Amino acid sequence: MATDTVKLPERPHEHAMDAVGTEPVRPVMSFYVYEWPVRIWHWLTALLVVALSLTGYFIASPPASVAGDTSALFTFGQIREWHFIAAWLLTIGVVFRAYWAVVGGEHARLIYYVPFWSKQWWSDVFLVVKWYLFLNKGEKWVGHNPLARASMFGMFTLGSLAMVVTGFGLYAEQAGVDSWLRGAFGWTLSLFGSSMALRTWHHAGMYLLLAFSAIHLYAAVRDDIMGRVSTVSSMISGWRTFRDFHDE
């Protein structure tokens, strides 16, 4: 925990009165959670997941045919090329983010493993599950709550890694049989049995990441309102603010 940067509270309005003038407005408790490289990575990845899903969907279900001179057209090829460019960028992001998990702060590591054997962690997960089921008033967590951490690790970290690996498996198919790409990722064909099965699972992986994105978005907005903690804005500023706690 020592690596965590802690904001020293500023109290410019400590003695100011609110609109009605009954209570002083107190500064709220804040923590620096998301370092700037993580924030940039987060939004780039979000953008790339949208781009990859769109182009990927069209690769599986091509848009209506275009009429015209075949040799002058590159419509479907263009969609595929965008997919490949976005995929390379996402891959660079995945590698960079893993690097940052090593050199970055404590919170940067959370989504790379779960303390599966820790009883404390499981009881924390249980607390959060109960909170989402409206069975308790909820704990507050500076970084991801334990359940969020588990879903990010399982659905996003492993999910995006699986997409990169299966994606490169498919990408390697168009490279020669003796290419380095086939050497590095050709094993995915053996793993899934056939190129067709590899495609099916890569396609299903897209839906896994989209499902994660939907849940992620819902939980973030909900936490902002129900948990009275900054979530969406914290991925822009880096600061997590607890509206109900005050530095005294």
Partner 1 sequence: MARVETFYEVLRRHGVSRRSFVQFCSLTAASLGLKPAFAEELAQAMQVKPRIPVLWLHGLECTCCSESFIRSAHPLAKDVVLSLISLDYDDTIMAAAGEQAEQCLEDVRREYKGKYLLCVEGNAPLADDGVYCITGGRPFVEQLKDYAADAMAVVSWGSCASWGCVQAAKPNPTHAVPVHEIVRDKPVIKVPGCPPIAEVMTGVISYILTFDRLPELDRQGRPKMFYGQRIHDKCYRRGHFDAGQFVEAWDDDGARQGWCLYKLGCRGPTTYNACSTVRWNDGVSFPIQSGHGCIGCSEKDFWDNGPFYERLANVNLFGAEANADGWAKGAAAVVGAGMAVHAGISAVVRLRDKERHDTHLPPKGGTP
- Residues of this chain that interact with partner 1 (CB under 8 A) are 1-2, 4, 6, 29, 31, 33, 60-68, 70-71, 73-77, 79, 124, 132, 134, 137, 139-143, 173-174, 176-178, 186-187, 189-190, 193-197, 199-200, 203-204, 207, 210-211, 214-215, 218, 222, 225-226, 228-229, 242-245, 247
CA distance 138 to 118: 20
> Reduced to 3 states, what is the DSSP secondary structure of residue 74?
coil
Q: In one letter, which amino acid is 5?
A: T
Closer Cβ to partner 1, 64 or 102, answer by number: 64
Tokens (6 digits) for 135: 């069975």
Of 237, 183, 220, 209, nearest in space to 33 by CA: 237
Eight-class DSSP state of 15: T
Closer Cβ to partner 1, 18 or 99, answer by number: 18
Least Å from the CB of residue 133 to partner 1: 9
Strands 239-246 and 28-32, bridge-based pairing: antiparallel
Closer Cβ to partner 1, 99 or 174, answer by number: 174
Least Å from the CB of residue 25 to partner 1: 14
Closer Cβ to partner 1, 83 or 93, answer by number: 83
